[in-house]
Chain A
Amino acid sequence: MNKLKLIIKREFLAKVRNRSFIIMTFVSPLIMVGMIALVVYLSKSSMEKINVVAYVDNSKFFSKNDFKDSNTIHYIDLTEVDLNKAKQIVQESNHDGLLFIPEKDSIEQITESIQFFSQETPSMVLISSLENNLEKKLEKEKMLQLNIDLKKLEQSDLNVDIKLSNYSGEKSSKLVNGIKIALGMGAGYVIMMFIIVYGAMVMRSVIEEKTSRIVEVIISSVKPFQLMMGKVIGTAGAGLLQFFIWAVLMFLMLVAGSYFFGMDSMASVQTAQIPTDQMEAVATNDAQFAISEILKLPLFSMFIWFILFFLGGYLLYSSIYAAIGSAVDNETDTQQFMMPVIMPLMIGVYVGFATVINDPHGTVATVFSMIPFTSPIVMLMRIPFGVPWWQIALSLFLLIITFLAVIWLAAKIYRVGILMYGKKVNYKELYKWMRY
């Protein structure tokens, strides 16, 4: 027991002191934030880009008022010149395109015959906003033709908003549903990433012991099983530390970010000349509601389940990774064994994404949340939606049984593998080792 502690401590320190661990832990959140900021910035700036569109309107349905500049489009009227001349002007002055509305008798004919000329293919956003604009005007004209009272039509416009609630009367909302999805998917995804990254770390560390030839020195003092478990547990410790640091950093950045963006959004609201108090009220109401809804979720028990399923899944997979590491001489030889390890993890994530969102308690989602190789991922995705306790217990029980069996088998392979040098190993060989 004492020796196991020594090994865990060494493995933990070896991981944590590693330069790449330090860089990963402190730099990757910054990179993440940077990426998000970049995406936000880019989408914002592309939104803010104003397209210059010239138009030639030969129909009798539109007036100058229908081509009012919007946030994204600036119109230039070229109706006075003929089409060919207009094309030339647009090309010379490098405008984004030319909208051509021909002379037709009926509205129906017009809808079919409007054209847009441009050097490059225009963006979908631009075209659909042009279409919307024209459509609105033509629909109005059509309604006038059909003698429909526009005022009455406007009055008849209604909006249905279904309020969700469960039988005990707790209110729910689509927003909360979204939050649940985000939480579940996030947890499942994090577990998959962690298993792959840290499992590979365990594997590399086993290979390192083999190639540096220290392994025989060590197992003359401790049991191979102790060495393997010490490595698995010590590495998990490093991973949990990384999680913890990330959580703290994330919290700090959220606080800093909300302060920063809070200022920013106020500024933009003012420039948009929309009544400031009204906007703010809506925004804070939404945010407050979201936060209060998140707090209503059983966060504590969700956290406990996260840790339990995470540990189960990690132990299951990292012992397989350790066995693979023991069977090979260098990392390139691991390829043939990696597929069957990563596959179930991928399946878990994709099944989760595909089924849990639509139907968290459907057959597929339920079955995959029971299979031990996918359950840590799929069950965590389901848990925010409320899963009967017996399902969670059964899934956890199956997971524990399986990881005990897998660790037992992995230890058998490991025991033989770490002393085997210069041998290309296949599955048949591994099966033989289990029986030595």
Chain B
Amino acid sequence: MDNILVTENIVKNFGDFRALNNVSIEVPEQSIFGLLGPNGAGKTTLIRIINQITLPDEGKIFFNGKALQPNDVHFIGYLPEERGLYKRMKVGEQSIYLAQLKGLSKNEAKKRLKYWFDKFEIGDWWNKKVEELSKGMAQKVQFIVTVLHEPKLLIFDEPFSGFDPINANLIKDEILRLRDKGATIIFSTHRMESVEELCEYIALIDRSNKILDGKLIDIKKQFKTNSFEVGLVTDEKDKLMQEISQKFSVSNAEFKSLEDDLKLRINLSNGDTSTDLIKYLNKRALINHYVEVIPTANDIFIQAVKQNS
């Protein structure tokens, strides 16, 4: 698969402070790419460099295989974390203005806006001033304005903040639909459950350096600990646990089940396979729960940042 966006060894200094240190990322076309990192890691600086708001001190950026051009802003849609609209301007007029700045003609902008306003059922806001809208309503307008020029690359910085769950879901569905229609999405957020749900690829930036990137599923494999969660039905819980802990490293686990069973987390570090474990357990008790522990995006985030420090 081709990469729509590649950054090569991006360096950015603010005075004595190095905000980005040789950051290289590759964003495959038509993927959802999670750009993760703690606060102040340099994510926003990287996003601003991609949007040509800030110029990098060193490094190269390729968009669609060619060096990034000033006019490429027409093919990028950016929803910044710090976002807003002119409060005293009417919704319709303002949307047309912002679309024109992205290179759309006035008529084309009107046509597309009508489509989106009908879709989101907000047609009657057209002549309202933004200051009359609620925060969630304004966010909807903001989202429409971001995607209106049908950009190849969409960059969302905390897109769900300010939305109630219903509208957040609406936006999520739209993001997936845009991806299916061919757009690539860079997605920066602290909400790990949405990373888990949406992102196919991730890159993790911590203290100006990229410390991890790749396909989320590969990273999970890399971070898995060969641990299994088991539920065993037995009359003598303590005795059984003692017996197992002599052969494997064992800790208590928490999960829901219907039985009052012995819940354990067993780590296979001594070369045993899952088959060996099942065979071993099967001889001693009834297994009513058996599942491999997969690291969550949250676990990976915390662990990777901890290792880096």
Contacts and interface: CB of A to CB of B under 8 A. Distances in A.
Contacts of A220: 51-53, 73, 76, 78, 80
Contact of A214 (B52, B70, B86, B102): B86
Interface string A212-226: 111011111111100
B97 interface: yes
B85 A212 contact: yes
Given A220-B51, A432-B15, A212 B101 contact: no
A213 B84 contact: yes
Nearest to B51: A220
A95 interface: no
Contacts of A294: none
B224 interface: no
Contact of B98 (A14, A221, A223, A436): A221
B48 interface: yes
A221 to B, nearest CB: 4
A364 interface: no
B53 A214 contact: no
A14 B89 contact: yes
B274 to A, nearest CB: 49
A299 B138 CA distance: 53
A3 interface: yes
Contacts of B52: 220
B45 to A, nearest CB: 10
Contact of A436 (B15, B86, B88, B142): B15
Contacts, number: 63
B48 A14 contact: no
By size class, the interface of chain A is 20 to 34
B14 interface: yes
A218 B52 CA distance: 12
Contact of B78 (A10, A208, A217, A222): A217
B132 to A, nearest CB: 14
Contact of B73 (A208, A221, A435): A221
A405 to B, nearest CB: 21
B85 A6 contact: no
B15 A216 contact: no
A421 interface: yes
B79 to A, nearest CB: 8
A354 interface: no
A224 B70 CA distance: 13
Contacts of B145: 217
Contact of B53 (A208, A219, A436): A219
Interface in B2-54: 14-15, 48, 51-54
A42 interface: no
A208 B79 CA distance: 19
18 contacts: A3-B101, A6-B97, A14-B86, A14-B88, A208-B86, A208-B87, A209-B86, A213-B83, A214-B86, A216-B78, A216-B80, A217-B83, A217-B142, A220-B53, A220-B78, A221-B101, A421-B82, A435-B15
Given A14-B86, A217-B142, A220-B53, 13 more contacts: A6-B97, A6-B100, A208-B86, A213-B84, A216-B80, A216-B83, A217-B80, A220-B78, A220-B80, A221-B98, A221-B102, A222-B101, A419-B53
Interface of B: 14-15, 48, 51-54, 70, 73, 76, 78-80, 82-89, 97-98, 100-102, 142, 145
- 10 closest residue pairs by CB, A with B: A213-B84, A221-B101, A216-B80, A220-B78, A212-B84, A220-B51, A213-B82, A214-B84, A221-B102, A219-B53
